[in-house]
Amino acid sequence: MQDVLEQAKEVLQILHDNGHEAYIVGGAVRDSLLGIPVHDVDIATSAKPEEVMALFPRTFPIGIRHGTVLVRHRHIDYEVTTFRSEYGYRDRRHPDRVVFEDSIEKDLARRDFTINAIAMGLNGEYVDPFGGREDIRRRRLRTVGRARERFREDPLRMLRAVRFIGQLDLEPDPELVEALQEERRLIGYVAVERIRDEMTKFLSAKWVARGLKMIRATRLHEVLPYIKERPDLAFEKADSADYTVLETDVERWSAFWLALDVRDQALEAALRTYRFSNKALKAVLSLARAFVARRIREPDRETVYRYGVDAVLAVERLKKAFGLIETVDEAAVRAIADRLPIGNRKDLAVDGHDLQRWLAKEGGPWMREAMEAIERAVVRGDVENEPKAIRKWVNTWLAPKIKS
């Protein structure tokens, strides 16, 4: 049993001791059965939110209307949610009504997939009314109930399906695949931020190529924001990148759009459509640009100096993802950085005043160009970062070129 689950059982125990039922539910149970690390633990309980808040000293009402209270116990946060069912999804986004229930079975019935609808009790016993454990054993993804109905209630579940297929290497039930294809247009009702966040998780999945194939096979891409407006894009190229070598969401999103040949202004438009934050938008744009500009260049002193180790390594990983290089030589890039004579322009041994004195010239636009040339020469190692050496270099190489 993983430690996180053992810890969570203390929370179950407290709820039990006060006369409530409580179970670990959702991803934590699923992942522990799959033998992969559990990151956060969700708890379902018969206790009402006020009762949960009264029992634990440190709580935050994060979704009280839906029955969710965040409980902090021994420095770990748990989402504790009252057993509930959901009715009506007229806007295809939110249930019209959330009803608190008194049984775990009813709570499990509202969940999306059988593998996510298993509860684990205090003594390690399972409540598994939909055969989730059997599906985990057979690595099968099935909805709880009819797939089409469940996708109509909340179309985001279609993207969650693709995400779980890619994350956990699951074989989707034929009924689920058919429902994806039949109901795909309902993705149009999902808030673009939710689509984006689900796709972000999906792109970091271990078997992302598998998920991408599922998207293609069911033509889900035809309804995805931005991509739906660009029938000219070859979505089959989306898996021409090996996303598993990439380390950040920025790298993965860059690879995704580069694979589809979406760059420059089109890339900016795509990122805006997905409502990325300005910070994320800039990061993806500049990484994609750096990749395109330097796809054939080796990381050298100039690139490491200009862009920094992290950005150069990100470009190297992109190159590897697209099969342009065999390995990312991180140590070599770091060695280049360590040996750089200067960290930035301010570290230069000379400044504009020195130049003016040496060349007996008035200040002007020539100075900026000259300083840039000196900076480049020092970074490249053409000249030592030392006033005398630089003066000599300026007289030999630079002075003849400076226009008066």
Q: Which of 347, 336, 350 is nearest to 380 (CA)?
A: 336
Identify which of residues 130 and 257 has a Cβ nearer to ligand ATP in the complex. Answer: 130
The radius of gyration computed from the CA coordinates of the chain, to the nearest angstrom, equals 28
In DSSP terms, which residues pair with 60 in a beta bridge?
Answer: 70
Q: Which of residues 95-114 bind ligand ATP (CB under 6 A)?
A: 111-112
Query: With CB cut-offs between 5 and 8 Å by kind, which of ligand ATP, Mg ion, none does residue 112 bind?
Result: ligand ATP
Binding-site string for ligand ATP from residue 203 to residue 242, where x marks contact by CB under 6 A and - marks none = ----------------------------------------
Determine, following the binding rule CB under 6 A, whether residue 116 of this chain makes contact with ligand ATP: yes
Backbone φ and ψ for 381, nearest 5 degrees, come out as 90, 15
Q: Which does 63 bind (CB under 5 to 8 A by kind): Mg ion, ligand ATP, none?
A: none
**Which residue number, 116 or 218, has a Cβ lying nearer to ligand ATP?**
116
C-beta of 32 vs 116, nearer to ligand ATP: 116
Residue type, 65: R
Q: Rule CB under 6 A: which of 74-93 touch ligand ATP? A: none
Which member of 9, 157, 184, 252 binds ligand ATP (CB under 6 A)? 157
* Smallest separation (angstroms) from ligand ATP to the CB of 116: 3
Q: How far is the CB of 65 from ligand ATP (least distance, A)?
A: 16
Residue 338 exposed, middle or buried by CB count within 10 Å (0-12, 13-18, 19+)? exposed
Q: Binding to Mg ion by residue 27, rule CB under 5 A?
A: yes
Q: How far apart are CA 272 and CA 196, in angstroms?
A: 11
Interface with ligand ATP, residue 303, by CB under 6 A: no
HEC-encoded secondary structure of 152-180: HHCCHHHHHHHHHHHHHCCEECHHHHHHH
The structure tokens listed for 270 are 């795509």
Return the one option of Mg ion, ligand ATP, none that residue 154 interacts with (CB less than 5 to 8 A, by type): ligand ATP
Residue 169 CB, nearest distance to Mg ion (Å)?
19
Q: In angstroms, what is the minimal distance from the CB of 89 to ligand ATP?
A: 10
C-alpha 19/C-alpha 380 separation (Å) is 72
**Tokens 């420059």 -> residue:** 264
Q: How far apart are CA 156 and CA 150, in angstroms?
A: 10
Closest by Cα among 164, 37, 36, 15 to 104: 15
Binding segment for ligand ATP (CB under 6 A), chosen from 52-60, 152-160, 181-189, 299-307, is 152-160
Q: Which of 21, 42, 107, 239 binds ligand ATP (CB under 6 A)?
A: 42
CB of 29 to ligand ATP, least distance (A): 8
Beta partners for residue 127, in sequence order: 119
Distance of alpha carbon 294 from alpha carbon 261, whole angstroms: 16
Q: What is the chain's length?
A: 404
- Give the residues lining the site for ligand ATP (CB under 6 A): 26-27, 42, 111-112, 116-117, 154, 156-157
